[in-house]
Structure 1
Amino acid sequence: MRGGTMRRLRWLVNARHSFELYRAFLWLALPFGCLFVFLVPPFQSPDEPNHFFRAYQVSEGVFYAEKKEQRLGGELPLSLSQVRDSFLFLKMNYESRLDKNLIFRQLKTPLGTSLRVFTDFPNTAIYAPTAYFPQATAIALVRPLGATPLQMLYAVRFANLFIWLLLVQAAIRLMPFLKNALAALALLPASLVIAASANADVITNGLSWWLMAAFCARMSGQFKTVTSAVVIAANKLIALPLALLVLIGKKQRGRFVFLFSAALFAALAWGYFAQKQFISYDNYHPAFREAQTLSEGVDPARQQVFILQNPLFFAKTVFFSAIKALPSTAAHFVGKFGWEKNYLHPLWLAALWAMLAAVFFSEKNPLATRQRLLAAGVAVLYAGMFAVTMYALWCPVGAMEITNFQGRYFVPIAPVLALVLANNWLEKFRNEIRLGAVLIMVFGNCAMIISILTRYYA
């Protein structure tokens, strides 16, 4: 009896001293992610209807969106927009609640591919088709099986989630250091909720994390590394600076020229096509523009000229807009769900940020000052390109504020910030921090489940 007790005690002590957060990643991310696939009501993730429409279009082999009578989108089955419309009452209506029977009824609504209408999705029509590979593949696989539109949406969510899990797990395995920091960022409730949606940024986020890990593991010359950099740049122009991380390794300048040139070409090529396709609010068909995710008074060409002519005004606008948006951006990054301003309780937000800080400050980081400065420069360039893009595409010409700062837009560079900030100041508390992080992640995601149920179903 005494011998058995001692063995159990030794096992607990050894487990405590050998525990690593990253080893628990899939065990925690998979069940919580699958729950979020079903718990978040259909089309209630940011821009999910339009991402779903664009994914369906790509699944039919239409890689370039259609322009028709001052509208941008494509000819899609009428049932897709009908199913979307049945859930519109939830959006921006904090008093509305969902009857689960509505979901069951809509699961039976047939696709009906013969009846088609032109469907508007102007904000996602300019996305590169490579951003929809998992979603489009899922739709193409289940469509011949007689799947309904809502069944397709759930298939798309699962496809996005599983590909993201694979990419993040691959990044964790590949990363020679900061594995726990990667796991902590990926296990944030907001990270899992967006990964379990139809959003096109999901695969780009996962690829961005994997690419950073590949550069840190000195894999800059491999074909899949170059391909990932090209896809990321095409999917998200502002993520182009991530290709600069190839310089984090020694003697990489020769490879840098080829890799960065390929990524730059992809970004410019798709950026050219997207610019040709874009229709501003003022030029959109008056009968349809009010329902679109477009802002009045936007003119990207004139806005870019304004920035060049007024650089100090623009810099001031970016600075004060970022400061004003900092609290909501921080909350959005760790604990937001749904399309509206749905956040976890402030105590949970504080706990999640404290956990992230503790993990970051208990990780060994072998990067030299030069390498950290490079990573910081990449983050600054990304943020600068984000500000220019938001100002050009979402703000009226000469606007005094950028209003579209959201935490989810900074997910691609979150691990890059870990490269800059991580250190071993709290290394002596390493094991306690790891165990505490698991508890906060588990209970934080449980709090997210309760918040979703309360917001949409209670």
Structure 2
Amino acid sequence: MKKIREYKNIFIILGITVLMFLFLYKFAGINVLPHLGDAKGYVNTVNEASAKEVLELKEGDIYKQTIVATRDEVAGFNIRFGTYGEQVHGKLRVSFSDIASGNVYESTELDCEAIVDNQYHLFVLNPVITDGKDQQYEISIEVLNLEEGEKLALFASDKDVYKDGMLTYNGEQVSETDIACQISGTFGFMLKWYWLASIVILVGFVVFSFITFVKKCKLEFVYLTLGITFGIIYILCFPPYTAPDEGTHISTTYAFASEFLGEESLSPKSGTVIYRRTDADVDAGQQVTSQKFQNLYQAIKHPSNDLERNFERGNKLDVPFTCYLPQIIGVVIGMLLKLSGFWTMYLGKLFAMLFFTTCIFFSIKLIPWGKMVIMAIGLLPMTLELATSYSYDCLLNGLCILFISYALYLIYQKDKAKWKDFVILGAIICIISPCKMFYFLIAGMLFLIPKEKYTSKKSYWLINTGMIVLGLAVLVVMRFQFFVEHMGTATQSVIDPVNVNYSISSILSDIPHSINVLFNTVIRNSEFYFNSLWGSHLGWFQVAIPNHIIVCFVLVIFTASVCSVREEQNIYTPNIQFRLVNLGLSLLMILGILAALWIGWTPITYQTIQGVQGRYFIPFLPMVFLSMRNKIFLLQKNIDRGLAAVLFGALTCTFLYIIPYIFQ
């Protein structure tokens, strides 16, 4: 009978997998395929800021601009015209040719009526050039006729900004200027990317369903499947530099990696971080767009492989290397293996994901109750984005959640707390303390461990108090400069350079005003904190995830928090002490975060605290939700596997909502 039930479940899983494949196939037809043939400019001779001049055209003029393709595919070219807001009548002959071979790929007569003022006009090549990388081409514009009294112009630069080409007018070279034109390409390769991501989800679903509903493995293994599956999806969907503040984190990681290898990490002149030239293959664009993925595709297909350390980008943060240890290991391996910039960069993201997934795996394994709460928080869209990035929030979130689970293991399950347990917990506190201030306060949970689990009452007070003092000491030592700078005098504001930031003395000297600032912050920013906690806007607040998807995640966490089965209540009986300690510590950490950014980031003229984001609350989020556990909602049957299925569905929907931003 058991075998029959297993086979039945397997057939159901395979049936759902087929339906998912058909859905993803149809989704591709509607949301992916229509955008693959769009030709978009990828080489700009003159960008928006440099297009300060116009070259007025008259009958008989011939302008020729040379331009070099940086990709294999050349699907067309664009020219930016100006009509001064009027419709123009006349004809132009526009051609596109290969300088080396003299082959003319396109020559067409353009009716001036089709030109839109201050816009690029696209000329499509047929057939498309497929081997154009590093080839030099010539764009020619000849004015055949132009209605008398009407004006038509080419946008141009006021200096020679495009060093790979030159401009000629009626056969004579024009120095110190280039006309605004582009080479365009399509994004056919992104169909392979889409199906790669889809296959990851389909395979992940089969494995998840099998271990969850057929083999009924423990919840930590269910999480492992989800964590790896959607960790890979987030690595695929969010390229380097697209996570919040990731550029600075990447620079800091690469600086530490260089130091580990005995190389100079910072430029003596500018103080910026020194990279290998090949690391410049990955551009620093912060938006999730098809252009970003096109650049990555070129970084894979045509890596520079130049290992010379002659490229500079970004600054190094004043934090210890331990904050970036997973990413540093990945980057160091990439450098030792002499991998290209692309693969080295993605090794750092991969090691970050593996580290975070390992932390959550052992967190779920250790925690005696509330396993689903840990799992759901570990799979939030915002959590996954940070877990697959270079941000030190990856390490911070993973270790804080692991600390909470370990503490609950000592409180409710282990018979005696041993010195090895406190060595592990102490190491975690030492690592997280200097990353962001005040998270060391989670060590206060250790006071919930029953005194009889220690060798003596004296040990109970010494160890637990010592753990908090240890965290504070590490914080002060590692961030001593910060405290010195902000203790009395105000520092220069980054947001508003004409003003200074709040300081500790300015906050304490005007208590009523400070209370008003704190009140305004809570009232005006609470919605933003809530949304940025769950991940309703990913990337640099660019990728919007609909509220009904976010609600699914919130409901799963809330349900897992308030409901319990009888086996769990035998382990943990809800009590006021547990709630007060956890909620009190959480409140202290929230106030600490607000205080740190109040004096470190907020100009003294502002009426709200700046720089605080909801993602800063993820490290202690389990403490808040675990405090909701009660005796009222007692379930007859464990629903964790059903909630895990809801999470899989919500995460898949999140992926589908990210797609339009990638293909825009």
Q: TM-score, normalised by structure 1?
A: 0.84
Q: 1:430 Cα shift?
A: 5.2
Q: Confirm or deny: 8 A CA contact 1:282 1:296 kept in the other structure.
A: no
Question: Shift in Å at residue 233 of structure 1?
Answer: 0.8
Q: Determine the structure 2 residue equivalent to 1:258.
A: 466
Give the Cα separation in 2 of the matches to 1:67 and 1:295: 27
C-alpha separation in 2, matches of 1:59 and 1:274: 24
The reply on whether 1:48 has 2:246 as its aligned counterpart is yes
2:649 paired with 1:443: yes
- Give the structure-2-normalised TM-score: 0.59
Match of 2:363 among 171, 177, 183: 171
Partner of 2:479, secondary structure, is helix
Question: Which residue matches 1:323?
Answer: 523
Q: Mapping of 1:283-298 within 5 angstroms?
A: 296=497
Once the 2 structures are TM-superposed, how far is the Cα of residue 267 of structure 1 from its aligned partner?
0.5
**What corresponds to 1:342 in structure 2?**
543
Instruction: Give the aligned partner of residue 277 of structure 2.
Output: 79
Within the candidate set 196, 221, 234, 2:434 is matched to 234
What CA distance in whole angstroms lies between the structure 2 residues aligned with 1:455 and 1:312? 45
Partner amino acid, structure 1, of 2:379: L
> Which amino acid in the other structure matches residue 115 of structure 1?
N
Displacement of 1:9 in angstroms is: 8.5
Counterpart of 1:288 in structure 2 is none
Check 1:369–1:440 CA distance in 2 against 1; reply closer, same or farther (3 A cut). same
Distance 1:111 1:384, change over 3 A: farther
Matched, 1:427 2:634: yes
Q: Using a 3 Å threshold, how does the CA distance of structure 1 residues 67 and 198 change in structure 2: closer, same or farther?
A: same
Q: Tell me what 1:401 maps to.
A: 608
Conserved 8 A contact 1:59-1:139: yes
- In 2 relative to 1, CA 277–166 (structure 1 residues): closer, same or farther, beyond 3 Å? farther
1:60 to 2:258 alignment: yes
Q: 2:324·2:392 contact (CA, 8 Å) conserved in 1?
A: yes
Paired with 1:142 and 1:281, the residues of 2 have a C-alpha distance of 42
Counting matched residue pairs gives: 435
Candidates 296, 311, 314, aligned match of 1:120:
314
**1:245 corresponds to which residue?**
445
1:31-68 CA-to-partner distances (Å, cap 9, x unmatched) read 11012112212311111121111001111227999697
Structure 2 portions without partners, runs of 5+:
13-211, 411-416, 452-459
C-alpha distance in structure 2 between counterparts of 1:82 and 1:4, whole Å: 56
Shift of 1:74: 3.8
1:452 aligns with 2:658: yes
User: Displacement, 1:383?
Assistant: 0.3
- After TM superposition, list the pairs within 5 Å mapping 1:171-210 onto structure 2: 171-210=363-402
* 1:360 to 2:561 alignment: yes
Q: Does the C-alpha gap of structure 1 residues 439 and 328 become closer, same or farther in structure 2, counting only changes over 3 Å?
A: farther
Question: Is the partner of 2:529 in helix, strand or coil?
Answer: helix
- Structure 1, residues 163-188: CA drift from partner, whole Å, max 9, x if none? 11111111111112211111111122
Q: Distance in 2 between matches of 1:163 and 1:377?
A: 29
2:445·2:581 contact (CA, 8 Å) conserved in 1?
Answer: yes
Match of 1:106 among 299, 306, 331: 299
User: What is the aligned partner in structure 2 of residue 289 from structure 1?
Assistant: none
| 1-structure distance, mates of 2:321, 2:642 | 41
Partner of 1:371: 578
Look up the SS of the partner of 2:497 in the other structure: coil
Native 8 Å contact 1:297 1:397 kept in 2: no
AA partner of residue 621 (structure 2)? A
Q: Which has the higher contact order (CA 8 A, sep 6+)?
A: 1
CA drift at 1:143: 0.4
Shift of 1:341: 4.0
Distance 2:510 2:642 in 1: 48
Residue 205 of structure 2: aligned partner:
none
Distance, in Å, in 1 between the alignment partners of 2:438 and 2:267 is: 25
CA distance 1:83–1:6, shift in 2 (3 Å): closer
* Separation (CA, whole Å) in 2 of partners of 1:49 and 1:427: 47
Change (3 A) 1:111 1:443: farther
Q: Distance in 1 between matches of 2:498 and 2:548?
A: 39
In the alignment, the residues of structure 1 paired with residue 223 and residue 466 of structure 2 have an alpha-carbon distance, to the nearest angstrom, of 34
Separation of aligned partners in 1, 2:543 and 2:242: 11
For structure 1, which runs of at least 5 residues remain unmatched after alignment? 285-292
Q: Which moved more, 1:366-375 or 1:18-27?
A: 18-27
Structure with greater proportional helix content: 1
Q: Please name the residue that 1:33 is paired with.
A: 231
The answer on whether the counterparts of 2:399 and 2:428 sit within 8 Å (CA) in structure 1 is: yes
- CA drift of 1:412 comes to 0.6
- Change over 3 Å in CA distance of 1:78–1:441 after alignment to 2: same
Deviations 1:5-28 (A, max 9, x none): 57878999x969x78755511111
Residues 393-402 or 20-29, more deviating: 20-29
Partners of 1:134 and 1:7 in 2: how far apart?
39
Q: Distance in 2 between matches of 1:413 and 1:183?
A: 14
Q: 319, 329, 332: which one pairs with 1:140?
A: 332
For residues 234 and 423 of structure 2, what CA distance do their matches in structure 1 show? 34
| Aligned partner (choices 594, 598, 605) of residue 387 of structure 1 | 594
Q: C-alpha distance in 1, partners of 2:428/2:585?
A: 17
CA shift at 1:127, angstroms?
Answer: 2.5
Q: 2:290 and 2:9 mapped to 1: Cα distance?
A: 51
Corresponding residue SS for 1:265: helix
- Write out per-residue CA displacement over residues 62-103 of structure 1, whole angstroms, 9 at most, x where no aligned residue: 79996977x7x544126378445x342x53xx8x53363321
- 1:101 is matched by which residue type in structure 2? Q
Identity of aligned residues (%): 15
Offset of residue 332 of structure 1: 2.0
Cα pair distance change 1:19/1:151, threshold 3 Å: closer
Residue type matched to 1:331 in 2?
N
CA contact (8 A) 2:352 2:388 kept: yes
In structure 2, the CA distance between the partners of 1:75 and 1:189, relative to structure 1 (3 Å rule), is: closer
For 2:16, the equivalent position in structure 1 comes to none
The secondary structure found in structure 1 opposite 2:433 is helix
Equivalent residue letter for 2:652: C
Judged with a 3 Å threshold, the aligned counterparts in structure 2 of structure 1 residues 283 and 238 are, in CA distance, closer, same or farther, namely same
**Residues 344 and 447 of structure 1 are in contact (CA less than 8 Å); yes or no, is this contact kept in structure 2?**
no
Partner SS for 1:447? helix
- Between the aligned partners of 1:412 and 1:262, the Cα distance in structure 2 is 19
